[in-house]
Amino acid sequence: MAVIAVKYCGGCNPRYDRVGFVRSLQGDFPELEVAGADAAEPDFALVVCGCPARCVQHEQLTGRQGKFVAASPEDREALCAALAEMR
Amino acid sequence: MMTGEQYVESIRSMKTEIYMFGEKINSAADSPILRPSLNSVKATYDLAEKPEYEDLMTVTSHLTGKKINRFCHIHQSAEDLINKVKMQRLCGQKTAACFQRCVGMDAFNAIYSTTFEVDKKYNTPYFNNFKEYLKMVQEKDLTVDGAMTDPKGDRGLAPSQQSDPDLYLHVVERRADGVVVRGAKSHQTGISNSHEVIVMPTIAMRPEDKDYAISFAVPVDTKGIFMIVGRQSCDTRKLEGGKIDMGNSEFGGMEALVVFDNVFVPNDRIFLNGETDFSGVLVERFAGYHRQSYGGCKVGVGDVLIGAAALIADYNGAAKASHVKDKLIEMTHLNETLYSCGIACSAQGSKTESGNYLIDMLLANVCKQNVTRYPYEIARLAEDIAGGLMVTAPSEKDLRHEKLGPYVEKYLKGVDGVPTEYRLRVLRLIENLTLGAAAVGYRTESMHGAGSPQAQRIMIARQGNIAQKKDLAKAIAKIDKK
């Protein structure tokens, strides 16, 4: 089972439901195990920002097969494409 | 870090002496009037447990290297200052109330840099005293009330000139192992929900006010400390048993007059003791941090009020009206202007000698000066959009009444598809924020909290650098500077 480490921004003023965004991915990718940002050597890293400011620091977060920074629901398609390549 | 439930139990286990309406209260945790205010502080613990808020609510302590709640943090960068404001906006959004933990955080940061400088000049032990104290606070994840405002008596006289010497808190006895203090602190936000109280002087002082230049921290249930809770508009609605008429049934704020009746303070808990030349420095820095805070907390509450105004416009069937849309735009503009000020004074923050970061004082005072005005206008526009029913609607008991309820449902319905109860709930929320219990925090605290409007105008005058601006004008007008 592939592990995806998720780091959220602080959520000071999110433009969309960030937690719901991650939860919906699990529906499309049931083989993925969602873990926290401190997961050891995750297969994939996902940074979920609540707005275009993308202010969260995530340099320390890496995934062995890639990393994606999402900042709106419109990023879902590109993210799903990246996750599908990992299969 | 504590969970929210652990925090509630820790407050319940304290022996804090609280009085309200002439009666002694066992614990804020079990008082229907005080419990909403406790819930607001609890939210600062609950949010820190959630991964989707962890980045704002938690940080690594520079003292211990451990993860701590940001409310216990000493700001190490301009980014820390910005994240503080963002965290406060988040907490305001989640509670729509004063969540009370900010004063302690702002006191920590002011005392940190001031004690460093006092020690440098006088070779005192205050910086180390404070660091050890703060390590304990961080380790135990405590809520600390920041106590600055004295009752003050005759505002035209210095502390030592008052006919009653206790109108400013002061040292009454000096012992080998500590001091004994007497006095009171007014408007103490969250004191019944706090583990500790950290005391600061309230004004700049002269050498003759030596006994009044005192800063220290003690547990809130220390012998000699008791508090008399302040009334709030619509406070007894919390005793009626319903949920709708309170407007915000879960969260609230509280303030109290806190009396220090010959309270002993051990030496290792003292952070200033007679160094009158630093009293004003401490006050200015605390005030600066706290004025920055309002660019976060009141903005978050404003977000909720704007949302409520937009909702009631929907429920009233008035959302498409151009004037309603424009009023919501104006509310947003005002709210984001306050946020802009909070972010600006943070982004322009600079490092102190002690290593922590201080906000830009001019911009922090501009921030608060705007906060003394804009929430009033945002509230006015919310009331405008809500309509008069906000203050004439029947009670929840009438809504639930077997005979009366159907008439309330029928005649107070707005648009189809929205239950009358929802319309009443939103109206009560707007009432709560604009003239109910939460108006204490959203309006009058916006006016007077962290210093009344004139206090900021004095600081703006001092920082405004008019001399340099005159030179700019002379240069453009080709007037010889000489």
Whole-number pLDDT of residue A1: 80
Residue B355 and residue B394 in one domain? yes
Q: Give the confidence band of B480 by pLDDT, cuts at 50, 70, 90.
A: confident
φ, ψ of residue B255 to 5 degrees: the values are -140, 155
Whole-number pLDDT of residue A86: 79
Residue B171 and residue B261 in one domain? yes
Mutate to test the interface with A, among B44, B46, B54, B55 (most CBs of A within 10 A): B55
| CATH code of residue B214 | 2.40.110.10
Task: Please name the member of B53, B93, B303 whose beta carbon is closest to the beta carbon of A10.
Answer: B53
* Rounded Cα gap, residues A83 and A72, in angstroms: 17
Residue B295 and residue B359 in one domain? yes
Residue B460 has pLDDT above 80, yes or no: yes
Q: Please give the share of chain B, as a percent, with pLDDT higher than 90.
A: 99
Q: Which of B196, B255, B284, B431 is catalytic?
A: B255
* Rounded Cα gap, residues B333 and B346, in angstroms: 20
Residue B238 and residue B297 in one domain? no
Residue B142 has pLDDT above 70, yes or no: yes
In a domain, B482, yes or no: no
pLDDT tens readout for residues B159-196: 999 999 999 999 999 999 999 999 999 999 999 999 99
* Rounded Cα gap, residues B166 and B183, in angstroms: 5
Number of domains in chain B: 2
Residue B261 and residue B304 in one domain? no
Residue B214 has pLDDT above 70, yes or no: yes
Whole-number pLDDT of residue B115: 98
Average pLDDT, chain A: 92
Shortest Cα–Cα distance, B342 to chain A (Å): 13
Task: Please name the member of A10, A13, A19 whose beta carbon is closest to the beta carbon of B55.
Answer: A10
| Residue that wins the pLDDT comparison between B380 and A13 | B380
- Residue B257, judged by CB atoms within 10 A of its CB (0-12, 13-18, 19+), counts as middle
Shortest Cα–Cα distance, B288 to chain A (Å): 22
B101 Cβ contact partners less than 8 Å away, ≥ 6 residues apart: B41, B44, B71, B143, B190
Residue B45 and residue B189 in one domain? yes
Q: Which residue, among B344, B338, B343, B345, has the nearest Cα to B378 in the 3D structure?
A: B338
CB contact under 8 A, A11 and B52: yes
Q: Which residue, among B151, B146, B148, B188, has the nearest Cα to B166 in the 3D structure?
A: B151
Residue B185 one-letter amino acid = K
Residue B106 and residue B170 in one domain? yes
Buried b (16+ CB within 10 A) or exposed e, B222-252: beebbbebbebebbebbeeeeebbbbbbebb
What range defines the domain where residue B364 resides? Answer: 282-471
What is the tally of helices (H) and strands (E) in chain B? 17, 14
Residue B49 and residue B189 in one domain? yes
Shortest Cα–Cα distance, B414 to chain A (Å): 28
CB-CB neighbors (< 8 A) of B86 in chain A: 10, 12-13
In a domain, B477, yes or no: no
Of B25-34, B62-71, B174-183, B420-429, the range with the lowest mean pLDDT is: B25-34
Mean pLDDT, rounded, for B325-347: 98
| CATH code of residue B366 | 1.20.140.10
Q: Give the confidence band of B150 by pLDDT, cuts at 50, 70, 90.
A: very high
Domain final residue, candidates B233, B255, B275 = B275
pLDDT tens readout for residues B85-109: 999 999 999 999 999 999 999 999 9
Residue B236 and residue B298 in one domain? no
A23 touches chain B (CB under 8 A): no
CB contact under 8 A, B53 and A37: no
Domain final residue, candidates B260, B275, B290 = B275
Mean pLDDT, rounded, for B421-435: 98
In a domain, B481, yes or no: no
Average pLDDT, chain B: 97
In a domain, B480, yes or no: no
Residue B315 and residue B264 in one domain? no
Mean pLDDT, rounded, for B313-334: 98
Shortest Cα–Cα distance, B371 to chain A (Å): 19
A13 touches chain B (CB under 8 A): yes
ipTM above 0.85, yes or no: no
Q: Give the confidence band of B482 by pLDDT, cuts at 50, 70, 90.
A: low
B356 Cβ contact partners less than 8 Å away, ≥ 6 residues apart: B74, B75, B76, B109, B112, B113
Residue B64 and residue B175 in one domain? yes
Q: Does B255 participate in catalysis according to the annotation?
A: yes
CB-CB neighbors (< 8 A) of B78 in chain A: none
pLDDT tens readout for residues A48-66: 999 988 989 999 999 999 9
Residue B172 and residue B312 in one domain? no
Domain final residue, candidates B255, B275, B295 = B275
| A70 within 8 A of A79, measured Cβ to Cβ | yes
Q: Give the confidence band of B393 by pLDDT, cuts at 50, 70, 90.
A: very high
In a domain, B92, yes or no: yes
